[in-house]
Structure 1
Amino acid sequence: MIPLRHPNLCSSNLIQLKSQTKQTNLNRTLLSTSRSLTIMVLDRFKDLPFLILFVLVVLCTFGFGIFCVFHKNPNYSNLSSYTYELNSTSCVKGSDFNGFYESRFDFYVLSSSGSGFLKSLIWTLVVTLILSVPICFLLLLLLKHYTKQIVYVSLPFFIVIPIFLNVYWFVACTLSSSCTDAFPLVYRILVFVFVFLIIGVIVWIFVANWRRIELTVKIIGVASDALSKNLGLFVVIPLLTLGLVAYYVPIVVFLVFARLNGKIVPKESNGEYTCAWKQDSWVPAYYTLAILAMLWSLTVMVEAQVYVISGTIAQWYFTGEDSKPRRSIRSSLRNAFGPSSGTVCLSGLLICVVRIVRAAVDSARQEDVPGMVNLVLRCCVKALLSAVDFLNKFTINFAAITGEAYCTSARMTYELLKRNLMSAVFVETVSTRLLAGIAFILSSIYAIVVCAILKGASNIGVYSYVVAVLAWALLIIVLGSFVNVLDNVIETVYICYAIDSDRGEVYRPEVHEVYALLPSSRNHRSSIDPAAPPA
């Protein structure tokens, strides 16, 4: 039984929850929390030290960045005009106009060549970005009302599109003399057969998991319905992403100016002296600080988006069918960037550390360091990182629902999910792969249409493939963001369903009908007795 501490939940429900938390040690501890603390839980900052640390990192990044701008050496751009003077053993400025004329010539060449390709590329990307909005809304509408049809129609394309692309490149390469010379027939056949083996594996996965796919169809339908009731998220999440981009702009400018902090010094090479640029000793340290600040800010923004999505969907879930939550997105934003900002910063820091350590482990694996101890350490580190990453994901969902601090949310999430761990993994993996596959299919079909239009309406030749690939990449990024939002909705609804089950209540019967079909963990053990229904 998990006490909800979200400010938008009515006080009567909170009183009922307290009356139902008397049957386990965990719930007795939670019962000791007074009503006043329950109401004020989101008026006090949680995990405040991590918020202070994040603010200090950002302030240092911007402070030293401003110093880089005003402390720059203007002679960096004139390095080619400096020559070494033997008498003074120093670099002195001369006159050199070649670089000026060369830069003007390069600019002229770049601006005058490939104008047709550049025009087609710009217009295609702009049209793709505009069309991506109705495509996302149409996909959401179809997933809400015709989930089964969309999934079952998309499944054959998982096979047809790879087969088409495999046959197309093989035939195109065979007909092209340059490709034939660079790629012999034997290697083409090997790649051709290998791709078909991968397609066969995909078919086998579909057949082996057919029952899971049927259940996942229902889960996606429930999540799509929940997301359609909170369409404001499609405005807030892109705005948060644009805010992160705007936040990155000055940091990138600072990094550019940081390399201008230094001086021109003589450099000896093979007995000859030349003039070279020497950065100040503190510049690498600032690069490290700025890059870490950017990485941490990225993970913080990702977790803030998850927090906002989870808080909004949870308010919709626990409001019930008879009423509609008011200002749910606004309250979730206020909590994410207010009292719970320290929790968001801590969660983002853990994700950042996990990503950095994982990158270091992968780099060490590429170096192929021998030794059984090294192999065992790598496996242990990967297992630990996967566990932290998995627990952190559901912790931020739970923190958004209850308003608790990070460590409390992690402990309570573990107590909630330890009986349903396999179900949680199932919800995460199968639905994500199906949605990602649908996004890939739509993007591929769109890219094929774009390529056909460009070949018929323009004369850019082989560059039409480049434009089509870039349009495919842009659309799949947008659809990937949509899939990510829907994934977070699925996970939040799962957490809400688990809380509902522990409390012995049914706020959303349509959700219980679907999520009750999830397979139970083999280690199922009832650590929390079901609560008796209120009289």
Structure 2
Amino acid sequence: MGSSSNDDPNNKLDSLYDSSASHPFLSKTQYPSCSSSPIEEDNNSHESESNQQYLHITYNHGPRSFKDLPFLILFLLFLISTFAFGIFSIFHRNPHYSSRSSFTFDPNTTSCVNPHLSFPSNFLLFPIHSSHFVKGLIWALVITFILSFPMCWVLLLLLKHYTKHIVYASLPFFIVIPIFLNVYWFVACTVSSSCSLGFPLVYRILVMGFVFLVIGVIVWILVVNWHRVELTVSIIGVASNALSRNLGLFGVLPCLSLALVVYYVPIVVFMVFSTFNGKIVAKELDGEYGCVWKQDSWVPAYFALAILTMLWSAVAMHEAQVYVISGTIARWYFSKDHETPKRSIRSSLRNAFGPSFGTVCLSGLLACVVRVLRTVVDNARQEAPGIVNLVLQCCVNALLASVDFLNKFTINFAAITGEAYCSSARMTYELLRRNLLSAVFVETISFRLLAGIVFVLSAVYTIVVTAILKAGTNLGADSYTVAAMAWLLLIVVLGFVVVVLDNVIDTIYVCYAMDRDRGEVCKQEVHEVYVQLPISRSLRQPVGPRTLGV
């Protein structure tokens, strides 16, 4: 597909390096190389509203002070309360809960008594039945999990060295594989008597037509954004190279997720034991007295507290992972060329769960609130349709989208500079506004291309697994279920690589904006790619003199 003259990289460079007196940081000057020594921002610079306070924004190598302490204290209060009441629920549980069905009403004492001890009716021993399906599923998941690690490694190497080849080779499969799967299920369901009887022909045609409509939308998106694919390929290549220099992240980040699971175990145990807190009381039912279980009044409140703590912890852990990725990549970015920083991941972990943990908690709280409100809005859309409700939902969704947009680069900036959340949000917006950079472009195409590549690889793997199961086992129709579970596991593992790469792209974007603002070049290969990003004309600030100060 041919491109117009407006898409020529030379024209983009000429338009970018404008000689406007109001924006000298875009002038045709030779950028000095990145300084190897850390430049720390003075703490009193926040009191000034002058643009000079942003001239020394860079990675903060030195010790960092604690930020957003109130939110750290609030999170610790939630955590301590959850564990304290959970431990209380264990020691305060009613031992008669398991035998509550054995209690009967005694009219003499007007209370419930247990005339004899019986073995708890809810503790039954169920035999474990082995089957071909269970064995096949276990083997498929184990083999898929083992193979996913070399597949992730190969995917990262291909994206680093052969980005253009793998992207352009995958693009046709974005269309071919969905078409193949759509036709295959239609034919398979038509041939199968049970499926054709349970799923009439008219509905099968409607579903197939809808899938083809979705495929058409995908084709349209590719055609409209075709001129951006080349630039996105370069951005993915730069991010893959940065990630390959910090492979330790693939060991630390899964460990953090595993730590979250271990952290959840006692809370789940506490929630189970909290249900044992109550008493067996007499209650009149249909004119006769019987014995029922009455739960303590504080148990529902504890459930709410525990669930909120788990949600906040999950989102905060995600923000902490983003913080670790951003801090590690930023330290690599602002280091000398061909120099690998030592203990960068350890330093990022120490900052994420130390001085900046309050910032991480605040970011996680905002993200958690946005997710909860979005769920409430979606449920209200189904339960209370109407024009007024629709308008309110649009307003709420716009507000939530604004919070998501604000939160996107804030945690990246906080990881780089060690600033508080509000300061990071304000300074990030000012940084992008002064440099005419849009925060939208870098996330629109790159993530979709990476997700498409993962979909293609997992789909090809699933087709191979299905063929092996159909030919080498006697699972029959269950082979599709086993293959689907293997596909789900593989796409989760490969999706983890995509999410990390997406965060690396965002971090490099913020680091590049800092370079432009200071008039420096810390990574020449990054500037050669990111300099081609489109300028956001909507962020152009009023004309006025400004000195670079370098």
TM-score, normalised on structure 2?
Answer: 0.87
Classify the secondary structure of the residue corresponding to 2:171.
helix
* Matching residue within 312, 318, 323 for 1:296: 312
Query: Are the aligned partners of 2:410 and 2:428 in contact in 1 as well (CA < 8 Å)?
Result: yes
Hey, what does 2:531 align to over in structure 1?
A: 516
Query: Are the aligned partners of 1:427 and 1:490 in contact in 2 as well (CA < 8 Å)?
Result: yes
Classify the secondary structure of the residue corresponding to 1:338.
coil
Classify the secondary structure of the residue corresponding to 2:475.
coil
Hey, what does 1:485 align to over in structure 2?
A: 500
Q: Does 1:451 align with 2:466?
A: yes
Hey, what does 2:243 align to over in structure 1?
A: 227
Shift of 1:132: 1.1
1:385-424 superposed matches below 5 A: 385-418=400-433, 423-424=438-439
Shift of 1:169: 1.1
AA of the residue aligned to 2:72? L
Q: CA separation of 1:165/1:502 partners in 2, compared to 1, >3 Å: closer, same or farther?
A: same
AA of the residue aligned to 1:253? V
Q: CA separation of 1:133/1:210 partners in 2, compared to 1, >3 Å: closer, same or farther?
A: same
Query: Are the aligned partners of 1:90 and 1:266 in contact in 2 as well (CA < 8 Å)?
Result: yes
CA distance, structure 2, for counterparts of residue 362 and residue 283 of structure 1: 28
Query: Are the aligned partners of 1:218 and 1:514 in contact in 2 as well (CA < 8 Å)?
Result: yes
Q: Does 1:335 align with 2:356?
A: no
CA distance, structure 2, for counterparts of residue 207 and residue 134 of structure 1: 33
CA distance, structure 2, for counterparts of residue 31 and residue 214 of structure 1: 32
Hey, what does 1:65 align to over in structure 2?
A: 86
Q: Does 1:26 align with 2:50?
A: yes
Shift of 1:323: 2.6
Q: Does 1:141 align with 2:146?
A: no
Query: Are the aligned partners of 2:435 and 2:517 in contact in 1 as well (CA < 8 Å)?
Result: no
* Matching residue within 245, 254, 261 for 2:270: 254
Query: Are the aligned partners of 1:419 and 1:523 in contact in 2 as well (CA < 8 Å)?
Result: no
More deviation, 452-461/44-53: 452-461
Hey, what does 2:476 align to over in structure 1?
A: 461
Q: CA separation of 1:31/1:227 partners in 2, compared to 1, >3 Å: closer, same or farther?
A: closer
* Matching residue within 91, 107, 114 for 2:112: 91
Q: Does 1:505 align with 2:520?
A: yes
Shift of 1:516: 0.9
Q: Does 1:157 align with 2:173?
A: yes
CA distance, structure 1, for counterparts of residue 486 and residue 365 of structure 2: 33
Q: Does 1:345 align with 2:361?
A: yes
Q: CA separation of 1:459/1:315 partners in 2, compared to 1, >3 Å: closer, same or farther?
A: same
Query: Are the aligned partners of 1:41 and 1:404 in contact in 2 as well (CA < 8 Å)?
Result: no
As a proportion of its length, which structure holds more helix?
1
Any gaps of 5 or more consecutive residues in structure 1? 2-8
Query: Are the aligned partners of 1:435 and 1:483 in contact in 2 as well (CA < 8 Å)?
Result: yes
Over the aligned positions, Cα root-mean-square deviation in angstroms equals 2.5
AA of the residue aligned to 2:453? I
Q: Deviations over 1:326-377 (max 9, x none)?
A: 11111111111111111111111111111111111111111124353x3333
Query: Are the aligned partners of 1:72 and 1:258 in contact in 2 as well (CA < 8 Å)?
Result: yes
Classify the secondary structure of the residue corresponding to 1:264.
strand
Hey, what does 1:205 align to over in structure 2?
A: 221
Identity of aligned residues (%): 66
Shift of 1:115: 2.4
Shift of 1:26: 3.1
AA of the residue aligned to 1:523? S
More deviation, 309-318/259-268: 259-268
Shift of 1:378: 2.0
Query: Are the aligned partners of 2:55 and 2:518 in contact in 1 as well (CA < 8 Å)?
Result: no
Shift of 1:164: 1.3
Hey, what does 1:77 align to over in structure 2?
A: 98
Hey, what does 1:14 align to over in structure 2?
A: 39
Hey, what does 2:72 align to over in structure 1?
A: 51
Shift of 1:449: 1.7
Q: CA separation of 1:47/1:78 partners in 2, compared to 1, >3 Å: closer, same or farther?
A: same
* Matching residue within 255, 260, 264 for 1:239: 255
Q: How many pairs were matched up?
A: 511
Classify the secondary structure of the residue corresponding to 1:103.
coil
Q: CA separation of 1:122/1:154 partners in 2, compared to 1, >3 Å: closer, same or farther?
A: same
Shift of 1:322: 4.4
Classify the secondary structure of the residue corresponding to 1:332.
helix
Query: Are the aligned partners of 1:504 and 1:530 in contact in 2 as well (CA < 8 Å)?
Result: no
Query: Are the aligned partners of 1:303 and 1:347 in contact in 2 as well (CA < 8 Å)?
Result: yes
Hey, what does 2:326 align to over in structure 1?
A: 310
Hey, what does 1:473 align to over in structure 2?
A: 488
Hey, what does 1:357 align to over in structure 2?
A: 373
1:114-125 superposed matches below 5 A: 114-125=130-141
Shift of 1:11: 7.9
* Matching residue within 389, 393, 396 for 1:381: 396
CA distance, structure 2, for counterparts of residue 153 and residue 423 of structure 1: 29
CA distance, structure 2, for counterparts of residue 192 and residue 31 of structure 1: 57
Hey, what does 2:22 align to over in structure 1?
A: none
Classify the secondary structure of the residue corresponding to 1:400.
helix
TM-score, normalised on structure 1?
Answer: 0.90
CA distance, structure 1, for counterparts of residue 289 and residue 204 of structure 2: 52
Q: Deviations over 1:6-42 (max 9, x none)?
A: xxx9784527x88xx9xx9533446899xxxx88660
More deviation, 70-79/508-517: 70-79
Q: CA separation of 1:371/1:195 partners in 2, compared to 1, >3 Å: closer, same or farther?
A: closer
Q: CA separation of 1:59/1:207 partners in 2, compared to 1, >3 Å: closer, same or farther?
A: same
Hey, what does 2:440 align to over in structure 1?
A: 425
